[in-house]
Structure 1
Amino acid sequence: MAIQQRAERTRQEILSSAARVFDRVGYERASLARIAGEARVTTGALVFHFATKPELATAVRGRARTVTRITVESACLSTEGVGGTAIDKLVITTHALIRLFETDPMARAGERLARELQSTAPGLGQDCPWRREVCRLARYAVAEKALRPGVDATAVASLIGYVITGVELEMRRPSAPADGSWPAESGALHESAEERLGRIWELILPGLVRPTPARPVPAPPKGRSATAS
């Protein structure tokens, strides 16, 4: 039993270390030796648990999907019983997702791997939990007649997908570009990704939803995102 527990701890440490390496350097530059060094195990010990890099990447993506699914489901549940509309849930879910990406290398690694491996496995994007949830909430917004005339669920889901991916990619940029060209506002250098998302919602929400008297942008709940073990 003790040997099995030790083996499982080693496996989990390798998985967490692989996520950190994939997150930092991407799939191509992440060698098994580099991941083994991050996990402080021998390469032999690593390949005992994960024989190849593709197998390890698949395991990281599976864990990332689980963490992401729990996060978006919890965000939606947080609005149940308080009259949350589909638009409210959409805003709150995206905030929870960006908060997860800010704090969890497993989730970020899953996003990066999905992008980098898309050309070799085109179906990877179809099993993304947050994209499925965004599509679902956009359809509910249509059913609730919350969107402006001419705005359809597919367009909303695509727009929010671009926003989430863009904010997640922006997290990877240096905080102060050498040429000073971006961002234009000095205050933006110090804002968090979630604060940036909030500013984006303030810009796009009026163009998506039907006008209502003094409709505020829903405030994201303050809570912990799901994290990988």
Structure 2
Amino acid sequence: MTHPERYLELALRLGRHEPDIVDFYYGPPDLERRVADEPPLEPSRISADAADLLAELDDRWLAAQVRALETTARTLAGEELPYAEEVELKYGIRPQWADEREFEHGHALLDEALPGSGELAARFSRYLEGVALPSDLVGPALSEAVALLRERTREAVGLPEGEDVELDVVTGELWLGFARYLGEFRTHIALNTDLPFPATELVWFTAHEAYPGHHTHRAWQEAD
């Protein structure tokens, strides 16, 4: 097997223990079927296999992906890692404490900008409620934003033929927005109107989840 195929195999095997590891699979179908049909491997075995592959890699991007899988397998096997070390092994960055003065400065800027007086958190909540889209306008506004950013994305980077985004307005969820790639260049995006959705976030949300964000990225990955 090639190094990329071994990486896919590791991810699929680890996904048997942690389903969110594999958001959407683009690789060879026979490899996916084989892993699905085999008995789940213990995380300790997956960790060892990942370490073996990691020792052979000189591709920095692939090595970072395999290192993240190895670390996840180690923790699933029961190993406890210091928080900063675990983050660095999984994401390639080491978290550091931020200077509290940076937050104090941010609070001071908000205190100047927000109307009214009293606790900053309460004033900020009132501001968000004031700029929130009425629930009956969320769907139409999101559709307009998707159409606009789709055209701009098509002009800038192109889009695969037949790609599409399905929009859904929902209630009764804990999250504000959620997107899932369905395959065949399609993504389902849901927005929860139980929570206030600021009009100021409309373009950002659409760009992040759809055009030129996750949907565009995954559609081109599948096309390639």
Q: TM-score, normalised by structure 2?
A: 0.29
Higher relative CO (Cα under 8 Å, sequence separation at least 6) belongs to 1
Give the structure with the higher percent strand. 2
Give the structure with the higher percent helix. 1
Greater Rg over alpha carbons, structure = 2
